[in-house]
Structure 1
Amino acid sequence: MGKTKTKSRNNSKDILRSANAPLVKSAVASKSQKSTEDLLAEAATLLEHSRPEQALPLIQEALKRLETDKQAYSDIDILLHNAAQEKATFPTALVLGADVCSALGDIDKARAQYELAVQIDPNGALVSAEPYLELAQLSEEGGRKSIDYFEKAVEVMKNEIEVLDEQLDIEGTQQIVDMRRAKVAEALCGMAEVYMTDLSWEEDAEQRCEQLVTEAIAICPESLSAGVLQTLASIRISQDRLDEAKRTLAQSLAIWKGIPADVEDPARPDFATRVSLVRLLMEVEHEQDAMVVLEGLVKEDDQSVEAWYLGGWCHLLISQKPDIGEDAKSANVQQAQEWLANCLKLYQILQYEDEPLRSHAEELVRELNRTLNIEGDEDEWEDADDDENASDGDNIEAIDDDHARDEDVEMT
């Protein structure tokens, strides 16, 4: 049930537009001369800018230093005292190290470090709820174990909110409380999703889903509730209550669709949540709304294989609508070809690992070929060798700028 974490894309290499990333000097050359606090701060910055491989040696050095004082890294009172003096602490370093390992794909190491962090700081006084939230998603057991982690995360965050509620006269506290409430709602929705999947066999699974989502809606500030409403819509779809699902999705979309693309706003759900929104919109046959969301996603990250795949599928579905005109049908078929071509080329270049996605994308291409009476080579999208992949990378062209202008995009 694990959900892939998406790190910052601000400095990611733009493959489709062939932007070359600058060479960066190794960040660890002088790490021994830096304080532990500086090492952790630099590692956090590198991770934020999608350079976990450079952050790793810094965090390893910091952890090595912090481990030398056995009492200081395991005694919570000493740790809290050190934190109050703005000194580095072992649990917080472990969480950062786990984040780095997760970004590098070393899930076992990440899980072990999150677990050690919460063993040392079970009440989240230093590490807050984040390691519990990560463990809920990374748990190998899933099911009840994930629920336990989510429940502990909710407990930690509710305790934090209770403390913060007594400090609302301090400037900025209300915003922190709102974000924390939204995080609690996200955890409650995560629990609901577990009951919809891993624990769906339990007799009270549907009732538990309803209770959890109802609580999530109640605690989450309305301006930050788009993701919560998506979860409710997903439940309604599973209950075959499609009209309610459509209304809920429209309500979710309305919260953030008017926000300009270049404006950072917490009301806009993260990338992965918007991808999930696209799938839900497709399930209720609102492909036009799904395409509006997808146009924004590929502008934000044109390396997203899944976004290109869903866009190609959406255009094909639109072209098959019974009431569509011939011109619109032809245009959508052409767009479907372009989106799927980008999807499959990126799949090769990035060595993406999602065989069901690739298989379905290839089937969609064959369906398009049949529509256009084109003899397609069934082996066209077989994995090429490394040299061919490199050649493809040099020759990929982005969707024309005119494409975005031609689409009637209301939101990015």
Structure 2
Amino acid sequence: MGRTRAKAKKSALTVTKSAQSSSSSATPAISALLDKAQELIVQCDFPLARKFIDRALVRDDGSMSEKNQAKEMMGVVLLETGEVDEARELFLTLLPPHPTAPVPPPPSAHLYLAQLSADPHTALKHYQAAIDILQTQLKGKAPSPTQGDEQDEGEDEVRSNIVRAYVGMVEVWMDPEYDLCFDPAASSTCDSLLANALQIDPHNLEALQCLASVRLSQEKTEEALAALLTFPPSSPDAPPAHNQALVAALPLSVRLARAKLLLECGAYHDALNVLENVLASDDSSVEGWYLMGWGWWLVAEHQKEGGEVEGSEGLTWEDIARDSRDCLETCQMLHESQSDPDTPILEHVQELLGTLDALGIMPSPVQDDDEGDGDGWEDASDGEDVEMS
């Protein structure tokens, strides 16, 4: 766990591709139009993706599956461009008893509508409907020696969406904006939903991190940490670099969520390792610098009280607190320059900087590049015993 010196954004479900057409006509096949639209969606070129989807929707030679796929993709584009009401109405056209809706509806329509619902009970119904459809699909995927990896990939996608739906239900139950979190059955219901999710995929990272969050809310810190450390799955004798590489391959948002949970579990060394990798990938991440600053703050606080943290040997708590300040000031600068809307992060950063001011902890002195990265730390503490927490 190296010390990081300060330096000067719900993903949509992947739309399943339809089979490629073998047509050699000069008019592009609908499947080709949808493949191109999917490619543009991945590239975040939503206006151009919309044009390809429109071309597919006005055609009358497509199958029902292709028409529904086009509608689903258009709904994704509408969501990404901020047209939420229009997206909701479009997804509703894919559900019975709408006159044009297929039977059964695509589970993705229920998943999107669950995320868009302002009513928790409606959201839960959509999630359950998606799970029921997906479970039926999973049971219908009998092994076929001629399909091989392609079938395995399709089954993995179904399993992943089932787990995502269970996790979505847990998040609805835990959301403080809803009254469900005050229901006496909330805790046991979340446990049951997560058990179902992990039965589908015991190593699903999204489910494990959700389980850790639930265990923290239940004040079961050791169980929360155990859930986090279940990923990545590997043999006990696997080198640390192997596991670090698996974590480093995760999306940035997932790594940030993992680091935050690790900090809340008191696993500072693991959390800071994740955050070092995050900032190596993107040194303009406001949340990354915030969590790194908070992480070093917690390490300094722990060491000030006589504790030890792996990776901070030979450093005083003032040294570590100064690193915390450097990271927090970088976060504050990036928050302002990027007009970041996350006000709670800025408020917490300012609170921590205020306490560091009271402790007399000043920023690290600016060093020239040819002076290296030595540990010539200045002790700016005035000796006051100011509480850090």
Q: How is 1:73-222 mapped onto 2 (pairs within 5 angstroms)? A: 79-80=63-64, 83=65, 88-89=66-67, 91-118=68-95, 119=98, 120-121=100-101, 123=103, 128-141=106-119, 143-167=120-144, 170-172=147-149, 173-197=151-175, 198=178, 199-220=180-201, 222=202
Q: 1:347 aligns with which of 317, 329, 335?
A: 335
Q: Is the 8 A contact 1:6 1:272 kept in 2?
A: no
Aligned counterparts of 2:263 and 2:280: Cα–Cα separation in 1: 20
Aligned counterparts of 2:252 and 2:103: Cα–Cα separation in 1: 30
Is 1:277 matched up with 2:271? no
Aligned counterparts of 1:264 and 1:235: Cα–Cα separation in 2: 21
Aligned counterparts of 2:243 and 2:188: Cα–Cα separation in 1: 38
Deviation per CA, 1:136-188: give whole Å up to 9, x if none: 222122x1111111111111211211121343662112343234223212211
Aligned counterparts of 2:32 and 2:283: Cα–Cα separation in 1: 34
Q: Is the 8 A contact 2:13 2:108 kept in 1?
A: no
Deviation per CA, 1:301-345: give whole Å up to 9, x if none: 444322222122111111211235672534433432343333333
Q: 1:336 aligns with which of 314, 319, 324?
A: 324
1:295 corresponds to: 276
- Pairwise CA distance, 1:243: 2.0
Count of aligned pairs = 328
Q: 2:354 aligns with which of 366, 378, 382?
A: 366
Q: Is the 8 A contact 2:325 2:362 kept in 1?
A: no
- Sequence identity, in percent? 24
Deviation per CA, 1:255-277: give whole Å up to 9, x if none: 69755787799xx6543333222
1:398 corresponds to: none
Q: Please, which moves more after superposition, 41-50 or 248-257?
A: 248-257
Whichever residue aligns with residue 364 of structure 1, its letter is L
Say if 1:320 and 1:162 are closer, same or farther in 2 by CA, change over 3 A: same
Q: Is the 8 A contact 2:12 2:76 kept in 1?
A: no
Q: Please, which moves more after superposition, 297-306 or 151-160?
A: 297-306
TM-score calculated relative to the size of structure 1: 0.68
Aligned counterparts of 1:147 and 1:100: Cα–Cα separation in 2: 24
Question: What SS class does the counterpart of residue 200 from structure 1 fall into?
Answer: helix
Say if 1:320 and 1:158 are closer, same or farther in 2 by CA, change over 3 A: same
Aligned counterparts of 1:320 and 1:106: Cα–Cα separation in 2: 46
Please state which structure has a larger fraction of its residues in helix: 1
Q: Is the 8 A contact 1:7 1:48 kept in 2?
A: no
Is 1:48 matched up with 2:29? no
Q: Is the 8 A contact 1:161 1:177 kept in 2?
A: yes
* Unpaired runs of at least 5, structure 2: 1-8, 15-26, 364-371, 375-389
Is 1:5 matched up with 2:11? yes
Aligned counterparts of 2:254 and 2:247: Cα–Cα separation in 1: 16
Greater CA radius of gyration, 1 or 2? 2
Is 1:249 matched up with 2:228? yes
Q: Is the 8 A contact 2:290 2:349 kept in 1?
A: yes
- Pairwise CA distance, 1:295: 2.1
- Pairwise CA distance, 1:217: 1.3
* Unpaired runs of at least 5, structure 1: 9-32, 73-77, 376-400, 404-412
Question: What SS class does the counterpart of residue 142 from structure 2 fall into?
Answer: helix
